[in-house]
Amino acid sequence: MLDNLILGFSVAFSASNLMWCFIGVVLGTVIGMLPGLGASMGVAILIPLTLGMEPVTALIMLAGIYYGAQYGGTIAAVLIATPGDASAVATTLDGYAMARRGHAGAALSIAAIGSFVAALISLLLLMAVAQPIATFALRFGPAETLAIMLLGLTTIISFSGDKLAKGLTMAGLGILISTVGVATGFSTARMTFGSVNLLGGIPFVEVMIGLFAVGEVVSQIRSGGERPVKASFKDLLIKKEDIKRSLPAIFRGSFIGFGLGTLPGAGSTLASLLAYGVEKGVSKNSKEFGHGAIEGVAAPEAANNAAANANFIPTLALGIPGGATTAVLLGAFVIYGVQPGPLLFETQPALVWGLLVSFFIGNVILLILNLPLAPVFAQILRIPYYYLYPIILFTSLIGAYAIGNNVFSIWIVVIFGAVGYALKRWDYPAAPLVLGMVLGPLLEKGLVQTSALGKGNLAVIFEHPIAVVILILAVLIGIGPSIVRSALRRRAQARATSTAA
């Protein structure tokens, strides 16, 4: 692993890669912080702008946006109390409580420190674990690849949470969209309705831009936007005892986050909630939780960041996205002609290790930026959304044209903007749709190859032991989170009735 690290450092420390890493994490922080923006949107819109870059540079920047957005989201959760998704609830409760008492600086600082430590731990683990997985995966044949794709699809179950049926519908829709056009291996043009533009299929990045940029913007307008409540920065500096208190929480959170984030699926969401719950359970200060306990910020933040990094394990080593944003990143990989998966470590070691080392560099930059500069970033929250969103729409449309070189791309963005808006209104989750689109072609390839292997009989998959193990794992991943959820629910209810009694 040492030579790989050296290789990675030599790639990541080039002037251009350092600069774009910096730009990526700053952009990511801003994007993660501003309500109405999101990491998926940022990555989708910026893919067209990276067209002229080296693949590794582009990926370094886009990945920087991804984990930078984690830091930015923390700033938003602490300062504006926008628990936009379940994972931010934990940070909001204690972080925002701290902010209202004037300790916003301390909350943000511990979040930054916790995230950084978590990043270090998770990156070291990632580097140690990813290569062996990839090497093992080199032995995969068509049956195993099909099993992996099915595993990727079962993660949809965990993404959908309580909305399982809706999630499956979206996954089906995503796969359906991916079948439009002429499929590799066949000569039939499917569902092109005579359009020449559709022969190549419905373009992925444009759909992402439509769903996550245009759709998000319009939803924000419809729902009315967020109102930041003023938080004061009485103490910017964090006390030593606060750090001492939080260190164990950070470590626990990091390992929980890494463990759950490695599994493709919605592990990240569950990770921060679980970390918060565990911390509350073992902490001596558990009564303070919910009212401004600093461990209540440190643990979920560490878990979030660790999970975000761990998401790269299935993405890079197996080619299965760990989440919606990693799915968009996966699409970006493909556009640059890089196929993530087991072969990536063999064929493109410089790119992979350069990317992984850049994560280190990016997190260092983020720590340096966030510790003193969080209040400065907070001023950016003052930019009114009504100036931001026309700029977002402008960049989305022109970026879409840049990718497709055709006004058709712009129409795709507008149409899927409407689709994205409709999905939000009708309460359908978007992540399964993205996953379906990404995994659909790979699944089809796996099916075609496996049926060729079995001479028409798909059950040949059961004759390959590794594939069977993967399928069992898929079932576990599918059922696992719901079992964990109901167990936690039951325990919470039992505690509630026992305290009431």
Minimum CB distance to other proteins smaller for 7 or for 484:
484
Give the Cα separation of 356 and 304 in Å (integer): 18
Q: Is 224 in the site for other proteins (CB under 8 A)?
A: yes
Report the DSSP beta bridge partners of residue 189: 182
Near other proteins in 185-214, by CB under 8 A: 186, 188, 190-191, 214
Residue (52 or 194) nearer to other proteins, CB: 52
Range in contact with other proteins (rule: CB under 8 A) among 62-70, 347-355, 366-374, 403-411: 403-411
Q: Contact between 426 and other proteins (CB under 8 A)?
A: yes
Residues 237-266 that bind other proteins (CB under 8 A): none
Q: Which C-beta is closer to other proteins: that of 321 or that of 420?
A: 420
What contacts 24+ positions apart, CB below 8 Å, involve 190-198?
Answer: 197/406, 197/408
Q: Which is nearer to other proteins, 275 or 313 (CB)?
A: 275
Residue 302 is classified by DSSP as H
Least distance in Å: CB of 379 to other proteins?
17
Least Å distance, CB 473 to other proteins, is 21
User: Least distance to other proteins from the beta carbon of 113, Å?
Assistant: 24
Nearest approach in angstroms of CB 219 to other proteins is 9
The one segment of 2-10, 195-203, 334-342, 379-387 that binds other proteins by CB under 8 A: 379-387
What does DSSP assign to residue 461? G
Q: How far is CA 306 from CA 84, 155, 429, in A?
A: 20, 19, 24
Is 398 an interacting residue with respect to other proteins (CB under 8 A)?
yes
As given in the structure block, the two tokens for residue 303 are 């878990």
Q: Which pair of structure tokens corresponds to residue 429?
A: 């989750």
Residue 189 sits at φ, ψ, to 5 deg, of -90, 120
Is 222 one of the binding residues for other proteins (CB under 8 A)? yes
Smallest gap, in angstroms, from Cβ of residue 392 to other proteins? 10
Whole-angstrom distance, CA of residue 231 vs CA of residue 95? 11
Q: Please check whether residue 133 is in contact with residue 125, taking contact to mean a CB–CB distance below 8 angstroms.
A: no
Residue selected from 2, 3, 15, 165 as contacting other proteins according to rule CB under 8 A: 165
Q: Which residues ranging from 345 to 374 are in contact with other proteins (CB under 8 A)?
A: none
Considering only residues 277-296, where is the footprint of other proteins by CB under 8 A? 277, 280, 290-291
Instruction: Considering only residues 465 through 494, tell me which ones interact with other proteins, judged by CB under 8 A.
Output: 485, 488-489, 492
Site residues for other proteins, 43-62, by CB under 8 A, read 49, 51-52
Footprint on residues 60-119 left by other proteins (CB under 8 A): 81, 86, 89, 92-93, 96-97
Counting contacts by CB under 8 A, is residue 217 touching other proteins? Answer: yes
Determine if 225 is a binding residue for other proteins (CB under 8 A).
yes
| Count of CB atoms situated within 10 Å of the CB of 492 | 11
> Own/partner pairs for 338-342, CB < 8 Å, 24+ apart?
338/55, 338/59, 340/315, 340/316, 341/134, 341/137, 341/317, 342/133, 342/134, 342/135, 342/136, 342/137, 342/138, 342/140, 342/317, 342/318
State the Cα–Cα distance between residues 436 and 417, nearest whole angstrom: 18
**How many residues belong to the site for other proteins (CB under 8 A)?**
89
Contacts of 284 (CB under 8 A, 6+ apart): none
5 binds other proteins (CB under 8 A): no
